[in-house]
Homo-oligomer: A and B are copies of this chain.
Amino acid sequence: MMATINGNICQSNATQMVGPPMPWFGMDIGGTLVKLVYFEPTDSSPDEIDSELETIKRIRHYLKRNAAYGKTGKRDVYLQMDNCCINGRYGTLHFIRFPTSEMSVFIKLAKSKGIAQLASTVCATGGGAFKFEADFKKQVNLELHKFDELDSLIHGIHYIEAYNPQECYYLNDPLNSNKCSKSPYDFSHPYPFLVVNIGSGVSILAVYSPDKYKRVSGSSLGGGTFLGLCSLLTGCETFEDAIQLAANGDSTKVDKLVRDIYGGDYPKFQLSGDIVASRSGRLSFNLLIKFLFIKFLFI
């Protein structure tokens, strides 16, 4: 088998050991979530499988058998990428995540699965690669090979795009829920382009080539703001719970629309009455109390 990505020839040859010793993990330790990616080789020769360490087998079986780990760890099966070529090996990329606040639980789990005896290395990005570096070394004997998160993000976008041409898409008719549909974005001449990376906060990058980019802006209103406010307002704990609550709710009851202010459209600036003028602008503690009181009367 042979494939080319970004000029590198992917030569799959299980007998020829390439890259660092298995298992291959990558981690992005963000402000809210840890994203763990695990490469499962699918081109191993029978000899290689035989000589595989017991610990590696145990880790692979544990990760693959489950889609949930503990209370908060999840494997996003729908993100899984098959037939990937990395370091000249073919295999499957598995995507796992858990809250950064559970890092100590994760380190204990890794220890109990025997990671400490492998004395291996893990490539790691994100602030947590700095913050938790000493803990990893001390508790599971793991060296974190630190890479910058934004460098890795840009390389990752190019990698994903080369292997999954459907991954980069845009929405047709995004505001029309009946007509809204995905279309693949033609990435053959993308430069320059902007990347808006929404994590706990937001970074905005201008990308000029596969290796040249600049962080041009950012915002502290990001996923952490959304989840923090949702958690305090509704008691939900996860992003999925918040999205589920939102799907069952009616945003026009909390958002102030152009028509709530104008009584209709604001035609001079082509602002339709249905456009949100002020997100959460109708929220009021007094109205909430009145609403709960009325609800209570009708129970």
Contacts and interface: CB of A to CB of B under 8 A. Distances in A.
A256 B224 contact: yes
Contact of A284 (B130, B222, B232, B266): B232
Nearest to A269: B215
Interface in A235-261: 235-237, 254-256, 258, 260-261
Contact size class for A? 35 or more
Contacts of A227: 281
A228 B127 contact: no
Contacts of A264: 130
Nearest to A260: B31
Interface string A203-222: 00000000000010000111
A141 to B, nearest CB: 20
A288 B225 contact: no
A65 interface: no
Nearest to A284: B231
A278 B225 contact: yes
A276 B231 contact: no
Contacts of A272: none
Residue in A31, A228, A235, A261 whose Cβ sees the most chain B Cβ within 10 Å: A261
A257 B282 CA distance: 29
Nearest to A128: B261
Contact of A225 (B148, B232, B281): B281
A26 interface: no
> Max chain B CB contacts within 10 Å: which of A30, A234, A237, A276?
A276
A268 interface: yes
A126 to B, nearest CB: 7
A192 interface: no
A278 B224 contact: yes
A224 B277 contact: yes
Given A237-B286, A268-B148, A200 B278 contact: yes
Interface string A283-296: 11110100000000
A154 to B, nearest CB: 13
A264 B282 CA distance: 38
Contact of A263 (B127, B150, B254): B127
A260 B237 CA distance: 19
Interface of A: 30-32, 126-128, 130-131, 148, 150, 199-201, 215, 220-225, 227-229, 231-237, 254-256, 258, 260-264, 266, 268-269, 275-286, 288
